[in-house]
Amino acid sequence: MLPNKDEQLVISKISHELRNPLTIIYSTLQLIESRHPETRTFDHWQELMQDVEFMSVLLDDLSRFNHAADALNLSTFSFRPFWEYISLSFAASIADTKLEYSSKIDPSINQITGDKTKLQEVFLNLLRNAADAAKPDGSISMTATQKADSIIITVKDTGCGISKDRLSSIFEPFTTYKKNGTGLGLSICQNIIQAHHGTIAVHSTPEKGSIFQITLPTKQSSY
């Protein structure tokens, strides 16, 4: 669900008010650690640092969620180089793992109009989620096909899957079933896709994997 203007103002104010003291706290902890390296061996020190880092990630995600559907920076660009950049970037991130990754793009796909940066965020987010869900020696694939005036992007993994009772809520803000997740990643993805007048859906089978499918129009009516 997209936040309305009043909710956006409240979220922005809360994020701003929290970020400044959190930055000071984290900087102070880093200073203590640099001057007194022995603190790294103290009980719960690493947990403390991780908690502060998690709060910082949460605020970043909250800001992205708040602005995901803001005015898009639209441009018309060639889809293939965009696709190849995302694939290479993700492949590099799992180079030291046993995960198998493959990508395939329909050669008929040409140009698309959209917010390049926000769409990149969506695809990389889904791929990272797939990597988190996949078994150590599992596989991940991403395909793109053309259908009339839309592009259909599918991200598939052979991971743990999502139970039926959880599927209906995974796009809701702050819903997460993975350790150290903020629960905003999929909400951000949905907001960005909806802002492009597209759709995102998921099909999943526990212990077999998940399939996320995005349908994007190649043109934007407001462009």
Cα 151 from Cα 79, distance rounded (Å): 10
Torsion from C-alpha of 60, 61, 66, 69, nearest 10 degrees: 120
The pLDDT, as a whole number, for residue 13 is 65
- The pLDDT mean for the chain works out to 84
Cα 46 from Cα 107, distance rounded (Å): 49
Question: At 50, is the pLDDT very low, low, confident or very high (cuts 50, 70, 90)?
Answer: confident
Query: What are the beta bridge partners of residue 210?
Result: 157, 204
Whose structure tokens read 């139970």? Answer: 163
Cα 56 from Cα 61, distance rounded (Å): 9
Cα 182 from Cα 59, distance rounded (Å): 9
Report field, pTM of the whole predicted structure over 0.75: no
pLDDT tens-digit readout, 193-216: 988 999 999 999 988 999 999 999
Average pLDDT over every residue of 66-88:
83
Q: Comparing C-alpha atoms, which of 54, 62, 10, 65 is closest to residue 195? A: 65
More confident residue, 92 or 176: 92
Average pLDDT over every residue of 91-95:
91
Range scoring the smallest mean pLDDT among 56-60, 116-120, 175-179, 188-192: 175-179
